[in-house]
Each structure stands twice: as structure tokens, then as C-alpha cells.
């Protein structure tokens, strides 16, 4: 019996000591100073309708694997260590970009150029994911991409029921039958032809309330509207939609999410 | 040519088995559990005064032969009190066993004991039932979806048997829990380790066996019912199981229903793909749901015909899925709707029906024939979304999986061994806009035998496994949602693979210590999922990719079991070490998924691996109280890298002290310590250890029991290393307090 135990222990030890060792260190971003592009280690500011080039240098002690650029709207979530953006009226949030590139060697450069559509405005997240050849993944690097836009009309909300939306810390909750006051401006240097504010149920995309803003020909229009939440509005998720179109046909859709209880 | 040799071995075994069952004058009977009346298999029956040792069959039957006149029988079974009973001239004797307590006298065992079977004590909750058993952990995505993890392995690497029938239904998914309610079965057993010939070729980690309802021993009825309410996730449950026997016929019927709310967790924020989210109200939104299980069956038994049983089982679980499961949630998805029981998108509906029939005929060779047909459906609904380019789907059906499974087993069992055949046929179809796995099939035929030599038990199984899948492709879109090509996600595959298992069980006689060694070697064919998966798996939060070139893996495993008991103390130790060649497991690659929000590609790869572990169970009587300790240690390494295999559960120790307040009332205090997860796979996060306290107050009356249990008393915020939620940094359930009442009514006819 004793011999069996010793034999078993030796077999186990032999097996364990014969284990291979492997690279478990994830790759890193190794150079902060880049030319001919924007490093994702800094915030990125860009205008709609322009081309942006992102550039980064990556290192690994054994060998690099792949790099992925994932650009998506920042609406609805935040990232670790990211500064609070506050209240942002996004437009064109469907726009996203995904690019996968091969990296090789122990030091390689990833470069990515993309066009920002004329329809987007707000904050996007640039998520840089990268791995080494063994599959070790580094923690994602996340950088905000602030997109300004001179093409589409711009809505600004100064207060909702007397409160600056920038000070909101949680989702708006409105009651059926309640009155909500929205004050702000809508502007476009090309002049506007139409603007409308709507309350839309997200369950079936039905419009439960709307009002037209008389913006025809104006390049800036101040508004103060009273939203009458219908008594019949069922509890659920809603969206306050603000839409406008300028004289050149550039349309924009923005707004914020709220709940009716 | 290996097959002719094997055929000779099989033939020899069959001859040996047959030769050994030449009848002499004998005493026969049954050994069964006193409380549940379920049969006890592999119990040692020693005949006196001749001292010859026999063992009970899988139906608890025995036939004892002795050249001299019998005066008494001693029955010994692992985990139960030893019973010696006078024969008094009877030819048929039924013997009941009571579970072992610390007040045992010293047991001396002189025969073979199958120490590889561990009986699991059921509780009101499947997850708790599993977690209390050393070597078993459970992985869950809510109260309705619980996946057993046996010695670090799960899914298609373990066998879950419902009355002997393997449960299928997408068993490859961590999020695909087993659809069973322990309250509707006659016991649960765990068979640890790989190479058990009767468990089938998938049971590398072992198997959990849920026992079918047995025939009452006398005419009459037995009804068990109970109710349970749990503060925490506000779960309510009721169940009833009733059986009525009149002469040769028994009818049994059972039903359980539970509703559970969103899971309570002591956590306010979590991160997903480096995004930070808040959790409102201390609950994981949309994790509530309902679970229903039903059973109807009959047993007809006569001496001439044998015992024929027919069971129909049905389960349905509907549960919300935490929004992060299907991709990156927005903060507003996590606010909940104020109703903890509501089930919103995303959600999962899993259902299963099983029709099984068993025929048992006792004789020189006990004959068993088991046949079953089951349908397994799993539907995942999610808010329509497109990954990358392409039109938004028109329905909520992200993935559906239907698997129909036919299983048959024919078994001949003698006093010294058994042989038989198993066959199964699985057909799976998938649908939905989130492709993961193509339509697939799996067929298996196996020939199995075991034989009890004087020195030990030899077991063998030879399988032929046919697996395959259809091809699958979908349109490839440009940024303008125009079709620009074809995205081939799966190619047609048809494999026929032989497989085998051989085992040797060796009891070792030591003074005051019962010990056994088992050596087994076996192969395992890759699962359909490992061969053909290629898509985002919502339940695991990653892109999983199969590998059609995978070959069967093989393993050599050694297990040791040791137990000893004295008046005040008993100890049981199970251990194992196994070396796997080409162990198939999922590992991260250097590549990222070609579609948005799906992270790194994890692919199935085969690398050599070494696994080892130890489970210890000790009881110590201290005055009127009892101190119980259970512990599990597990190590799993991929030998090429030296890294751990995924989901290697860290060491844990559960200490509990039970003290009787009076004859009926007792209190237990427990502490569970979980070590840090020092052994992790590539890219798997390190998990800190934790310390959890629990309490139980039990009032046991004549036929009923009242129980108050509390878990995680101090509402500790801890990460469960093997939970699917661990990937999101979501902690395990917080404190819960459960109130249970159960009633067990026996009414037997006096005559």
C-alpha cells in the first residue's frame, strides 16, 4: 500500500513538473507619442463629415495578435474611469464602426481611418481591444469621441420643469396626466423648414403626444412647450423625441429616454 | 485488430456471468432505504455462518447462497448503518437501512463496497443541494437555470440521468440548466469520476442520478407535500408527490410549482466590457421567473411478468435573462420595472418532456429493459439587434434549440456481474437570428459489461458514435445593408467514431479502514457543439467557435476512496487523478469576433491536461452535538501552458455544528470558506476568497418537518468564481432566509 502511495505521488509530481509554461502577460500600448494620427490615450474631438485617423503603437514580450477598433454611441452607458459626460443630446446613434486588424511581432502600429457621417452628433466611445498571439487580451482602452456637427439642426434644452437637464442624476419619471414644461432652442445656420417634439411609447413606437414648432425660415428658434402626458398613457418606457429639418434637407432626431409610471 | 480481441473478452465475461448464477438453495430479498423505500444497490450481504459475501443489484435485490444452513445475514452499505438479521427459515427477506450517523458502532467490512456512489441529501433548492455535496458545485443564471459542475466539469462532460435516462437539451451551455425538481424523485446519487461504464461516454466528471419513483413495499399510499418561501429573491414553492398502490398496481403523480423574483445581490455597480453600470434596488433586474414540473406514472408488478413502469415527466421554466447576457445593456435596461416577478426581454423558456418505460424481471439473471423518448426545447428571446451590418431582425426569437432524444438500455444482471447494451439517437434543430449551432445529430450504440472477480470488479464498454451537422450560411451585408456575399457559419460534417472505457475496481482490506482503488481508461468523442458552434453565445457573453477537426480525447484516471468510523468520529475521503490526452476545452484565441459587441473568439481546442482532486467528509460527535466538515480540493491544468482549465473551482470548506435543543428541535450553525482562485485559465479573472455564515433551525415532528434556513447571514458581497455572472463581475446571491414545511404521510393497509 505504501509503495502504491509513493508511486502515485511520484507520478503526480512528474506530471505537474512536466507542465509547460506559457506567456500570460497581455500586450500593452507602448508609445504615447504618435504622428499622423490621434492617439486613443487622449480624448478625440472631431467634426461630422470629416475623416479621422487613429493611430496607436502596441507591444508584447512574445508576439502580438489582433487589434479591434470598436466605435459606438456612448448613449446609455459609461465606462470605468470615464468622466461623466452629463446630459448629451445625441443624434444618429445608429452609426458605429468596427475594424479588425492583424498585429505582428513584438512591436507594431495599428492605424485606422474612418469617415464621420453628416448625421451624427454627440459622444461616441472608441474601444480599442488588442490581444497577443497566445490569446492574452489586454484591458480595453476606451476613449470618448466628441462629434460636433454643422450640417444638421441643433437642439438645446435649457430646462425641463425649471431644472437644467445637465443636473439630472437619474432617469426622468413622469406621471400620466401630468404637465411637463420644456424650454430651449433649435438652430441651424441654413434656416429650418420643420421641427416637432413628440412623446413616443417605446413598446410599440406609437406617438402619444406631439407638437409642431413654427420654425419655418428661422435660423434660431426659442421654444417653451408644455407636454401634456395623456391620462391614458400606460406605464412603461418612453422617448421624448425632438426632430428638425433644415432648408438643405438635413434632418436630425434627438431626445431623451423617460419612464411613465 | 482490436475488435476481435474485445469481442472475446466480452464473450468471456458473459460466460462467466452466466456460469456463476447456477441456482442453489438460497435466501433472496431486497435492501432498501428506510425513509424513502428506494432500493440500495451494491450493498454487501454477508451470509452466516458460511461467511460468503454477495452484493445487491442495481434494484436492491440479492440472492444469497450458502452450503450450510443460513442463520443470519449482515448487510453493509457505504453511508448506512450495518444491519444483522436472523433468517429464521425464511426464503424472502426485505431489509431496510438507515443513513449512517456518528453514533455508529465500529463497522468491519469484509466484502467489496462500491465507494464510488455518493448519496446526495436533497434540500428545498437544487442549487443548495448540489453545493452542499463536496466535489459538486452549481453554476446558475437564476433560480430556474442551474447547471451541476462535477469535479470542475459540466455540460456535455457529465451525465445527468433521470431514472437512468441521460438528460439532453443543449447540455453544452453553461446557461442551460437541468430541468429537474429533486422533490419529484426518490433520491439523488452522485457517481464521481470518469470511466463508469454504465454512465455513457460523456461522463468524464461523473454523473448525477435522479432516481425514479419506486414501488411501495405494501398496499397503501404515500403522499409527500411541502411548501417553501424564501426571503431574498421572494421565491415561493409548493410540491406534492403522491403514490397509491393496490395489489400489483401503483399509480403515482406529482407536481411542483415555484415563482421567484429578481435575484437579490449586495452590489450597486458592475462593469461589462469596461463599461460601468449601476444596479438599482439591490436586485439583478429581469432574473425572476416561474418553474413547473410534473410527473405521472404507474408501476405494474407480478412475479410472472416482472415489474413494468411507465413515467411521463414534464418541466417548463420561464425566466428573464439579465440584460447584459445578450450584449451591452444601456443603463435604463437595468432599472427594472418595479415588479420583481415580471419576465421581460431578454428571456429564456426551457421545457422538457420525457416518456420512459422500464421492465424489470428478476430471475437467475435480473433483466432490465429501459426505453425513453424525450423532447427538449430551449427558446431565447431578445430585443432584435443586428451585430455589425445587416437588417434588424423582425422577431424576438434570437435562438431556439429543439432536441429529440431516444434512449434504450437492455441489461442482464447476475450476482457477479452484468452485461447489456445502450443505444441513443439525438436529433437537434436550431432557429433564430443569433446563429450559434447548426442542425445536428448524434447516435450511439454501446455494449457494456462488468464482472465481480474475487479480487475486484472489471468493467468495459465499447461504443460506436456517429455525430454530424448540416451546413449553415447567412447573407453577408455591407455597411449599406446590401447583400455582398455569403457568410458560411458551418460546413456539413459526418463523423463515425469508436469509443471505449475500461475500469478496474480494487477493494483493499485494512483494519478499521475501508479503502478502494479504481483505475479507468476511456475515450470521449467531441460533442456536436465542440465540432460546429460558431456564433455569439448569449449565456456566456462571448463568441464561441467549434472545430470540426477535433478528434476523440482519451484519459487514464485513478480514484481512491477511504472511509473509517468509530463511536464518535467518521471520515470519508474520495480522491482522483486523471491524465487527459487531447482534452477538449474552450480557450481564448488571438482573434476578435468579426461582429460587434461580441469580444474575443473562444474556440474549442484539444490539449493534454491533468486533473486531480480530493473530497473529504468528517463527522465528530461532541456531547449531544455534531460537528460536520466537508471540503473539496480541485486542480486542473492544461499541460501545454501550465495554466488552469476554465472554471476550476477553488478550495472550499464547510463546517457546521448541529445541536439538539430537545428531541424534536435542533439548531445548526454553518460556515463556508472559499479560497481565492489561484488556478485560473487564460484571461480568466482572479477571484478573491470569501467567508460565509449560515444557520438552520429544524423542528421534526411525527410526519412533518418545519425548517428555517438562512444563507449568507451577513449579506456578504462575494464573487462566485464558477458562476456565469462572474464574467460580468456580478456577485452571488445575497442573504436569503427560507421557511419550509414538509409532510410525509404513509397509509398502509394492515393486512
The answer, yes or no, to whether residue B11 has pLDDT greater than 50, is no
Chain B 267-306, CB below 8 Å of chain A: which residues? 271, 273-277
* Residue bearing cell 432500493: B39
The answer, yes or no, to whether residue A63 has pLDDT greater than 90, is yes
- Residue pair B263/B720 in contact (Cβ under 8 Å)? The answer is no
Contacts of residue B588 in chain A, CB cutoff 8 Å? 131, 135-137
Mean pLDDT, residues B278-298: 92
How many angstroms separate the CA of residue B96 from the nearest CA in chain A?
Answer: 35
Mean pLDDT, residues A104-118: 92
Least confident of A14-18, A38-42, B75-79, B451-455: A14-18
- In terms of average pLDDT, the best of B84-88, B116-120, B581-585 is B581-585
A135–B589 C-beta distance less than 8 A = yes
The answer, yes or no, to whether residue B486 has pLDDT greater than 80, is yes
Higher pLDDT, B129 or B328: B129
Confidence of residue B105 (pLDDT cuts 50, 70, 90): very low
The answer, yes or no, to whether residue B437 has pLDDT greater than 70, is yes
A80–B274 C-beta distance less than 8 A = yes
Mean pLDDT, residues B239-243: 97
Which run of H or E residues covers position B129? helix B126-131
Q: How far apart are CA B411 and CA B672, in angstroms?
A: 42
B331–A16 C-beta distance less than 8 A = no
Sign (positive or negative) of CA dihedral A34, A37, A38, A41: negative
The answer, yes or no, to whether residue B24 has pLDDT greater than 70, is no
Closest CA to B576 of B151, B178, B277: B151
CA B446 to chain centre: 21
Closest CA to A192 of A213, A215, A166, A159: A215
Higher pLDDT, A5 or B659: B659
Residues B31-53 have pLDDT tens digits of 887 766 777 777 777 777 776 66
User: Which pLDDT score, from 0 to 100, does residue A1 have?
Assistant: 47
The answer, yes or no, to whether residue B299 has pLDDT greater than 60, is yes
* Residue bearing cell 399510499: B221
**B660-665 contacts, C-beta under 8 A, 24 or more apart:** B660/B624, B660/B625, B664/B699, B664/B700, B664/B701, B665/B697, B665/B698, B665/B699, B665/B700
Burial of B280 per CB tally in 10 Å (0-12, 13-18, 19+): middle
Confidence of residue A36 (pLDDT cuts 50, 70, 90): low
Least confident of A9-13, B85-89, B456-460: A9-13
Mean pLDDT, residues A96-112: 91
Mean pLDDT, residues B521-541: 89
Q: How far apart are CA B68 and CA B90, in angstroms?
A: 15
B388–A1 C-beta distance less than 8 A = no
Least confident of A53-57, B591-595, B700-704: B591-595
Percent of chain B with pLDDT over 70: 89
B332–A12 C-beta distance less than 8 A = no
User: Which pLDDT score, from 0 to 100, does residue B60 have?
Assistant: 78
In this complex, the residue of B332, B588, B642 whose CB is nearest that of residue A21 is: B642
Higher pLDDT, B88 or A251: A251
From A261, which residue of chain B is nearest by alpha-carbon distance?
B337
User: Which pLDDT score, from 0 to 100, does residue B267 have?
Assistant: 93
Residues B367-408 have pLDDT tens digits of 999 999 999 999 999 888 776 677 888 899 999 999 999 999
For residue B298, what are the β-bridge partners?
A: B251, B310
User: Which pLDDT score, from 0 to 100, does residue B64 have?
Assistant: 78
User: Which pLDDT score, from 0 to 100, does residue B7 have?
Assistant: 43
User: Which pLDDT score, from 0 to 100, does residue A154 have?
Assistant: 94
Count chain A–chain B contacts defined by CB atoms under 8 A.
Answer: 116
User: Which pLDDT score, from 0 to 100, does residue B85 have?
Assistant: 80
Give the three-class secondary structure for B40.
coil
The answer, yes or no, to whether residue B751 has pLDDT greater than 60, is no
The answer, yes or no, to whether residue B21 has pLDDT greater than 50, is no
Mean pLDDT, residues B206-234: 93
- Residue pair B401/B387 in contact (Cβ under 8 Å)? The answer is no
Cell numbers for B36: 424513502
Q: What is the DSSP string of B283-341?
A: EETT--EEEEEEEEEEEEEETTTEEEEEEEEEEEEEEE--GGGGSPPPGGGGS--S-TT
User: Which pLDDT score, from 0 to 100, does residue B418 have?
Assistant: 95
B683–A134 C-beta distance less than 8 A = no
- Contact of B329 with chain A, judged by CB distance below 8 Å, is answered with yes
Tell me what the pLDDT averaged over chain A comes to.
85
User: Which of B268, B270, B275 is the best substitution to test chain A (most A C-beta atoms within 10 A)?
Assistant: B275
From B590, which residue of chain A is nearest by alpha-carbon distance?
A135
In this complex, the residue of B274, B328, B589 whose CB is nearest that of residue A139 is: B274
From B275, which residue of chain A is nearest by alpha-carbon distance?
A79
Contacts of residue B592 in chain A, CB cutoff 8 Å? 66, 68, 100, 129, 131
In this structure, are strands B652-660 and B665-674 parallel, antiparallel, or unpaired? antiparallel
User: Which pLDDT score, from 0 to 100, does residue A78 have?
Assistant: 61
User: Which pLDDT score, from 0 to 100, does residue B476 have?
Assistant: 86
Tell me what the pLDDT averaged over chain B comes to.
87
* Residue bearing cell 478550495: B651
Least confident of A59-63, B28-32, B107-111: B107-111
- In terms of average pLDDT, the best of A136-140, B390-394, B571-575 is B571-575
Confidence of residue B18 (pLDDT cuts 50, 70, 90): very low
From A96, which residue of chain B is nearest by alpha-carbon distance?
B388
Mean pLDDT, residues A235-258: 91
Contacts of residue B275 in chain A, CB cutoff 8 Å? 77-80, 142
Least confident of A73-82, A130-139, B330-339: A73-82
User: Which pLDDT score, from 0 to 100, does residue B107 have?
Assistant: 38
From B602, which residue of chain A is nearest by alpha-carbon distance?
A135
Eight-class DSSP state of A83: P
How many angstroms separate the CA of residue A57 from the nearest CA in chain B?
Answer: 17
Question: B497-515 burial, b for 16+ CB within 10 Å, e for fewer?
Answer: bebbbbbbbbbeeeeeebb
For residue B209, what are the β-bridge partners?
A: B161, B189
Confidence of residue B104 (pLDDT cuts 50, 70, 90): very low
Higher pLDDT, B292 or B77: B292
Peptide bond into B49 cis (omega under 30): yes
Cell numbers for A256: 431623451
- Contact of A3 with chain B, judged by CB distance below 8 Å, is answered with no
- Residue pair B387/B215 in contact (Cβ under 8 Å)? The answer is no
Q: How far apart are CA B502 and CA B524, in angstroms?
A: 13
| CB proximity list for B178: less than 8 A, separation 6 or greater | B146, B147, B148, B160, B167, B171
Mean pLDDT, residues B292-318: 96
From B683, which residue of chain A is nearest by alpha-carbon distance?
A136
User: Which pLDDT score, from 0 to 100, does residue B162 have?
Assistant: 95
A171–B335 C-beta distance less than 8 A = yes
User: Which of B334, B590, B729 is the best substitution to test chain A (most A C-beta atoms within 10 A)?
Assistant: B590
From A202, which residue of chain B is nearest by alpha-carbon distance?
B383
The answer, yes or no, to whether residue B111 has pLDDT greater than 50, is no
Number of residues assigned to chain B: 751
The answer, yes or no, to whether residue B144 has pLDDT greater than 80, is no
Higher pLDDT, B286 or A77: B286
Residues B460-485 have pLDDT tens digits of 999 999 999 999 999 888 767 788 88
Starting at the earlier edge strand, list the strands of the sheet with A51-59: A28-31, A51-59, A107-115
Least confident of A59-63, B41-45, B309-313, B519-523: B41-45
The answer, yes or no, to whether residue B623 has pLDDT greater than 70, is yes
Q: What is the DSSP string of B46-68?
A: EEETT--EEE--TTSEEEEE-SS
Q: How far apart are CA B75 and CA B542, in angstroms?
A: 52
Mean pLDDT, residues A124-131: 90
Burial of B743 per CB tally in 10 Å (0-12, 13-18, 19+): middle
User: Which pLDDT score, from 0 to 100, does residue B10 have?
Assistant: 41
Q: How far apart are CA A234 and CA A175, in angstroms?
A: 10
User: Which pLDDT score, from 0 to 100, does residue B25 have?
Assistant: 60
Confidence of residue B273 (pLDDT cuts 50, 70, 90): low
User: Which pLDDT score, from 0 to 100, does residue B539 have?
Assistant: 66
User: Which pLDDT score, from 0 to 100, does residue B110 have?
Assistant: 38
| CB proximity list for A228: less than 8 A, separation 6 or greater | A179, A209
A127–B273 C-beta distance less than 8 A = yes
Eight-class DSSP state of B695: E
B637–A259 C-beta distance less than 8 A = no
User: Which pLDDT score, from 0 to 100, does residue A3 have?
Assistant: 52
pTM: 0.81
- Contact of B106 with chain A, judged by CB distance below 8 Å, is answered with no
The answer, yes or no, to whether residue A142 has pLDDT greater than 60, is yes
Amino acid at each position: 500500500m505504501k509503495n502504491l502511495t509513493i508511486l502515485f505521488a511520484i507520478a503526480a509530481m512528474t506530471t505537474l513538473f512536466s507542465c509547460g509554461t506559457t506567456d500570460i502577460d497581455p500586450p500593452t500600448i507602448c508609445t504615447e507619442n504618435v504622428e499622423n494620427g490621434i492617439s486613443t490615450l487622449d480624448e478625440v474631438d472631431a467634426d461630422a463629415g470629416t475623416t479621422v485617423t487613429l493611430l496607436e503603437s502596441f507591444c508584447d514580450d512574445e508576439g502580438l495578435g489582433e487589434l479591434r477598433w470598436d466605435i459606438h454611441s456612448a448613449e446609455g452607458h459609461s465606462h470605468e474611469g470615464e468622466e461623466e459626460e452629463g446630459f448629451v443630446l445625441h443624434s444618429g446613434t445608429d452609426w458605429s464602426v468596427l475594424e479588425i486588424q492583424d498585429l505582428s511581432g513584438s512591436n507594431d502600429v495599428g492605424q485606422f481611418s474612418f469617415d464621420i457621417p453628416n448625421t451624427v452628433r454627440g459622444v461616441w466611445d472608441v474601444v480599442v481591444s488588442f490581444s497577443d498571439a497566445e490569446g492574452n487580451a489586454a484591458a480595453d482602452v476606451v476613449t470618448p469621441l466628441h462629434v460636433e456637427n454643422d450640417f444638421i439642426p441643433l437642439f438645446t434644452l435649457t430646462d425641463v420643469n425649471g431644472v437644467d437637464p445637465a443636473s439630472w442624476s437619474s432617469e426622468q419619471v413622469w406621471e400620466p396626466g401630468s404637465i411637463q414644461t420644456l424650454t430651449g432652442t433649435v438652430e441651424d445656420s441654413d434656416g429650418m423648414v420643420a421641427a416637432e417634439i413628440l412623446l413616443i411609447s417605446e413598446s410599440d413606437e406609437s406617438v402619444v403626444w406631439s407638437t409642431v414648432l413654427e420654425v419655418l425660415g428661422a435660423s434660431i428658434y426659442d421654444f417653451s412647450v408644455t407636454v401634456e402626458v395623456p391620462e391614458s398613457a400606460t406605464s412603461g418606457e418612453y422617448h421624448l423625441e425632438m426632430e428638425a429639418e433644415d432648408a438643405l434637407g438635413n434632418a436630425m432626431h434627438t431626445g431623451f429616454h423617460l419612464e411613465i409610471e | 485488430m482490436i475488435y476481435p480481441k474485445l469481442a472475446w473478452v466480452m464473450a468471456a465475461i458473459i460466460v462467466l456471468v452466466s456460469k456463476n448464477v447456477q441456482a442453489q438453495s438460497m435466501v433472496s430479498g431486497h435492501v432498501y432505504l428506510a425513509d424513502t423505500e428506494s432500493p440500495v444497490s451494491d450493498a454487501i450481504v454477508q451470509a452466516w455462518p458460511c461467511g460468503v459475501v454477495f452484493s445487491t443489484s442495481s434494484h436492491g435485490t440479492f440472492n444469497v447462497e450458502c452450503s450450510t444452513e443460513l442463520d443470519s445475514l449482515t448487510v453493509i452499505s457505504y453511508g448506512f448503518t450495518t444491519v444483522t438479521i436472523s433468517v429464521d427459515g425464511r426464503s424472502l427477506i426485505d431489509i431496510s437501512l438507515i443513513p449512517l450517523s456518528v453514533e455508529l458502532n465500529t463497522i468491519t467490512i469484509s466484502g467489496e463496497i462500491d465507494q464510488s456512489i455518493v448519496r446526495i441529501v436533497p434540500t428545498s433548492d437544487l442549487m443548495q443541494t448540489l453545493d452542499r455535496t463536496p466535489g459538486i458545485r452549481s453554476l446558475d443564471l437564476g433560480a430556474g437555470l442551474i447547471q451541476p459542475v462535477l469535479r470542475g466539469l459540466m455540460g456535455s462532460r457529465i451525465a445527468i440521468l433521470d431514472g437512468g435516462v441521460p438528460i439532453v437539451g443543449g447540455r453544452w451551455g453553461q446557461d442551460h440548466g437541468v430541468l429537474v425538481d429533486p422533490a419529484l424523485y426518490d433520491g439523488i446519487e452522485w457517481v464521481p469520476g470518469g470511466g463508469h461504464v454504465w454512465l455513457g461516454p460523456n461522463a468524464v466528471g461523473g454523473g448525477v442520478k435522479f432516481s425514479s419513483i419506486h414501488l411501495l413495499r405494501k398496499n397503501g399510499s404515500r403522499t409527500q407535500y411541502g411548501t417553501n418561501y424564501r426571503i431574498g429573491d421572494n421565491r415561493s414553492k409548493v410540491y406534492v408527490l403522491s403514490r397509491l398502490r393496490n395489489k400489483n398496481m401503483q399509480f403515482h403523480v406529482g407536481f411542483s410549482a415555484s415563482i421567484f423574483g429578481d435575484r437579490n445581490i449586495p452590489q450597486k455597480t458592475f462593469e461589462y466590457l469596461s463599461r460601468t453600470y449601476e444596479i438599482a434596488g439591490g436586485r439583478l433586474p429581469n432574473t425572476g421567473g416561474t418553474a413547473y414540473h410534473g410527473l405521472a406514472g404507474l408501476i405494474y408488478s407480478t412475479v410472472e411478468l416482472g415489474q413494468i413502469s411507465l413515467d411521463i415527466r414534464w418541466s417548463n421554466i420561464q425566466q428573464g435573462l439579465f440584460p447584459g447576457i445578450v450584449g451591452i445593456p444601456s443603463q435604463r435596461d437595468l432599472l427594472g420595472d418595479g415588479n420583481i416577478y415580471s419576465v421581460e426581454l431578454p428571456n429564456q423558456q426551457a421545457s422538457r418532456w420525457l416518456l420512459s418505460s422500464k421492465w424489470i424481471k428478476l430471475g437467475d439473471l435480473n433483466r432490465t429493459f429501459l426505453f425513453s423518448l424525450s423532447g427538449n426545447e430551449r427558446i431565447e428571446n431578445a430585443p432584435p439587434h443586428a451585430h455589425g451590418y445587416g437588417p434588424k431582425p423582425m422577431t424576438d426569437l434570437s435562438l431556439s434549440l429543439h432536441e429529440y432524444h431516444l434512449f434504450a438500455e437492455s441489461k442482464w444482471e447476475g450476482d457477479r456481474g452484468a452485461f447489456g447494451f445502450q443505444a441513443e439517437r439525438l436529433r437537434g434543430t436550431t432557429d433564430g437570428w443569433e446563429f450559434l449551432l447548426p442542425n445536428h445529430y448524434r447516435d450511439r450504440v454501446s455494449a457494456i459489461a462488468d464482472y465481480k472477480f474475487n479480487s475486484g470488479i472489471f468493467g468495459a464498454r465499447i461504443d460506436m458514435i456517429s455525430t454530424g451537422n448540416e451546413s449553415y450560411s447567412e447573407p453577408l451585408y455591407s455597411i449599406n445593408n446590401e447583400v455582398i456575399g455569403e457568410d458560411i457559419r458551418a460546413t456539413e460534417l459526418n463523423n463515425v467514431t469508436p469509443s471505449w472505457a475500461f475500469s478496474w475496481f480494487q477493494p483493499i482490506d485494512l483494519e478499521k479502514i475501508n479503502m478502494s482503488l479504481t483505475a479507468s481508461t476511456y475515450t470521449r468523442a467531441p460533442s456536436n457543439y465542440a465540432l460546429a458552434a460558431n456564433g455569439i453565445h448569449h449565456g456566456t457573453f462571448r463568441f464561441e467557435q467549434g472545430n470540426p477537426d477535433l478528434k476523440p480525447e482519451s484519459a487514464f484516471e485513478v480514484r481512491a476512496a477511504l472511509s473509517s468510523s468509530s463511536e464518535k468520529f467518521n471520515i470519508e475521503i474520495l480522491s482522483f487523478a486523471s491524465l487527459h490526452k487531447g482534452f477538449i476545452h474552450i480557450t481564448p484565441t488571438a482573434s476578435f469576433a468579426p461582429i460587434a459587441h461580441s469580444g474575443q473568439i473562444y474556440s474549442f481546442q484539444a490539449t493534454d491536461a491533468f486533473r486531480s482532486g480530493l473530497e473529504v467528509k468528517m463527522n465528530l460527535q461532541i456531547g449531544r452535538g455534531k460537528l460536520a466538515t466537508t471540503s473539496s480540493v480541485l486542480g486542473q491544468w492544461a499541460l501545454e501552458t501550465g495554466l488552469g482549465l476554465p472554471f476550476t473551482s477553488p478550495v472550499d470548506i464547510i463546517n457546521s455544528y448541529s445541536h439538539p435543543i430537545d428531541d424534536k428541535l435542533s439548531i445548526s450553525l454553518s460556515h463556508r470558506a472559499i479560497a481565492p482562485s489561484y488556478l485560473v485559465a487564460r484571461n480568466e479573472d482572479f477571484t478573491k476568497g470569501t467567508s460565509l455564515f449560515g444557520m438552520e433551525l429544524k423542528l421534526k415532528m411525527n410526519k412533518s418537518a418545519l425548517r428555517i434556513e438562512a444563507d449568507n447571514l451577513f449579506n456578504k458581497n462575494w464573487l462566485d468564481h464558477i458562476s456565469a455572472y462572474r464574467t460580468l463581475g456580478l456577485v452571488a446571491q445575497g442573504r436569503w432566509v427560507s421557511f419550509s414545511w414538509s409532510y410525509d404521510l404513509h397509509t398502509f393497509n394492515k393486512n
